[in-house]
Homo-oligomer: A and B are copies of this chain.
Amino acid sequence: MSDALWNEPKRHSWPSLHCNFKDVFSVIETTIEDACFLAIDGEFTGLEVGSGSVASFDTPEDRYHKVRQASCDFLLVQFGLCAFKYNKETKQYEARPFNFYLFPRPYMRGAPDCRFLCQSSSLDFLASQGFDFNKVFREGISYLRQTDESYIRETINIKHQACNQFSSPAFFSPDGNEPTGSKGPIVITDEHKEFIEGILKSVSDFMENKESETLELPKCNGFQRKLIYQVVRQKFTSGIHLESKTGEKKQRYIVVSKVKSEDELKKKEEEKQKNEMQELDDAIGFTKVINMISKSGKLVIGHNMFLDLLHTLHQFCAPLPDDYEEFKSLTNCIFPKILDTKLMASTNPFKEQIISTALGDLHNIVSAKPFSKAEVVMPEDFAQYQINENNLHEAGYDAYITGRCFISMANYLGSFHKPPMSRVAPTSPLVEPFINKLFMMRILDIPYMNLAGKDCSIHVGWINDTSAYVTLQRKEESKKVIKSLNKKGALHRVISYEQSKSSESKHNAENGTRKRQHQQSSDPEPPQKKQKPLNANAPPFVSRSITPPVSDAPDPPDTTTEKPNENKMFEEPTSW
């Protein structure tokens, strides 16, 4: 813990992408192309749907299903991307950080009108970090999943085709959904007569006035606009073009313009159609960045990145699958190489050196001996991030720091190489064991979620403070394990499930059945159910999880070892 924690917050400027997204798109493109690895981070509107849903004895699959729900309900509102490029001449990394503010703006008819959940404590936390909500809701960059994009594109195409089949677009309703003829004209009731007569008069005046080219009609509602389209087109069969527009304050109005020929009318209609396609392209927005990252196939790193990954897939790629194995396939397909720095830091040979794997702490630790501080510069045309804990929880900064942690840890692996290497590239075989494994918060007995194959599936189900059921992957190993664990002088005793059951029955026969029922309910699943195939490629560090908790307590989770507590508040959120 450094004294810097109590410094006055200094806020630095950095590339904050919202309204300038289109302008810098080509810079993002080049940056991703040139990078040797990419670091990402997200900020969300909430973390937990219900209370206490995440349990210490979840299997990775259980955890997927629980976190999936949160990822579908809450929104990723800020995406941090930091691209790292190695400069062989200076022997330094160059970091290029970006902050994207995101908002699923329903830009047109047919685009999804997203409903998303917010958690008060999460928004309050973001607010306390100086997060600018107006940048999200007023200027946030749009995005569209591939499936939504295809659907909308098809809808627009059908509309345009239908429109082009007729000689004149004047035969169409303002919304282009169907020829107005199909239902017959709307009868104009008394209450609208005065309004419509006023409109007709101003359109007539406009058509006779040779000086003006366009006329904006007053703001009015959908029904009134339908009436206007109908009566104006009845009266002026040619030389006129109508188009509905949306004002700055979302008010809708009709713009009337003069056209000299059928050709000009067609041209106007073509222009309108082109604009609609451009609008769709704008709406895809940030999704293009994710597509570029995916297409690059480059190593994507994150810190405690499970939630970031799920949100990213769900918001920009495809709805998260129900099936856990399908989720793994989807991940491998979109991000073929990912690395979680929290998992790396919790694993040998780092585990012993790193007393806290919280991002800020980790960065402090790996910037000092026995590690070496990452040598990273930021190109001049990028704003300069200073290392300062007050910047934490800004997605771009967190991505930058995550990248720095990775560089230090990867280089440290080089010290075990013969001869020692001072720089270990992200593509090095030394980094390989850490690829495609995700850290699982508060899961004590299973070391990681394995995206590259089957999960390790040792299961420890606690019965009370001192006893637990332990399930192995391979039943046939049980005798060997019992023998090896029951060494002389051990503080624990391991017995078989059969033995435990028979001694329990005996115990219950003496004490009545009440307690037994209680014990059973604390672990209702028979251990047999938990047997799953072993991952043959399990790296050496799985040992972390099979050490009995009594003799070697697992690392405390990021910020607290207390059990998840539904009433707990104002603790540092653990995964921001």
Interface residues of A (CB under 8 A from B): 1, 5-6, 9, 45-46, 49, 75, 103-111, 113-121, 123-129, 132-134, 136-138, 189, 191-192, 194-195, 216, 218-223, 246, 248-252, 355-356, 358, 390, 553, 555-556, 558-562, 567-572
Contacts and interface: CB of A to CB of B under 8 A. Distances in A.
Given A252-B570, A553-B189, A216 B117 contact: no
Given A120-B113, A124-B137, A561-B223, A129 B569 contact: no
Number of copies: 2
22 contacts: A1-B195, A1-B219, A106-B570, A109-B568, A110-B569, A113-B569, A115-B120, A116-B117, A116-B118, A118-B118, A125-B250, A126-B137, A127-B134, A127-B137, A128-B248, A133-B137, A191-B555, A221-B571, A221-B572, A223-B556, A252-B571, A252-B572
Contacts of A571: 221-222, 252
Contacts of A6: 216
B124 A106 contact: yes
A103 B128 contact: no
Contacts of A223: 556, 559-562
A121 B138 contact: no
Given A1-B218, A103-B123, A125-B250, 4 more contacts: A129-B250, A221-B572, A223-B561, A250-B570
The interface centre, meaning the residue of A120, A218, A251, A572 with most chain B CB atoms within 10 A of its CB, is A120
A251 B393 CA distance: 12
B572 A251 contact: yes
A559 B221 contact: yes
A117 B117 contact: yes
B138 A46 contact: no
A153 to B, nearest CB: 15
B113 A219 contact: no
Contacts of A119: 113-115
Contacts of A113: 119-121, 569
Contact of A105 (B124, B137, B192): B124
B560 A221 contact: yes
A120 B133 contact: no
B118 A251 contact: no
B117 A127 contact: no
B195 A109 contact: no
Given A127-B138, A192-B355, A110 B567 contact: yes
Given A9-B249, A191-B355, A249-B9, A570 B123 contact: no
Contacts of A123: 103, 137
Nearest to A192: B355
Nearest to A568: B109
Contacts of A194: 355
Given A216-B6, A246-B570, A355 B132 contact: no
Contacts of A133: 133-134, 136-138
Contacts of A117: 115-118
Contacts of A222: 559-562, 571
Nearest to A114: B120
A132 B129 contact: no
A404 to B, nearest CB: 21
A106 B134 contact: no
A6 to B, nearest CB: 7
| Top 5 A-B residue pairs of the complex, sorted by shortest distance between their CB atoms | A222-B560, A221-B559, A1-B218, A133-B133, A223-B561
B567 A109 contact: yes
A318 to B, nearest CB: 19
A476 B266 CA distance: 63
A570 B127 CA distance: 29
A569 B49 contact: no
A108 B251 contact: no
A108 B567 CA distance: 9
Nearest to A571: B222
B120 A118 contact: no
A113 B220 CA distance: 41
The interface centre, meaning the residue of A106, A555, A560, A571 with most chain B CB atoms within 10 A of its CB, is A106
Nearest to A46: B115
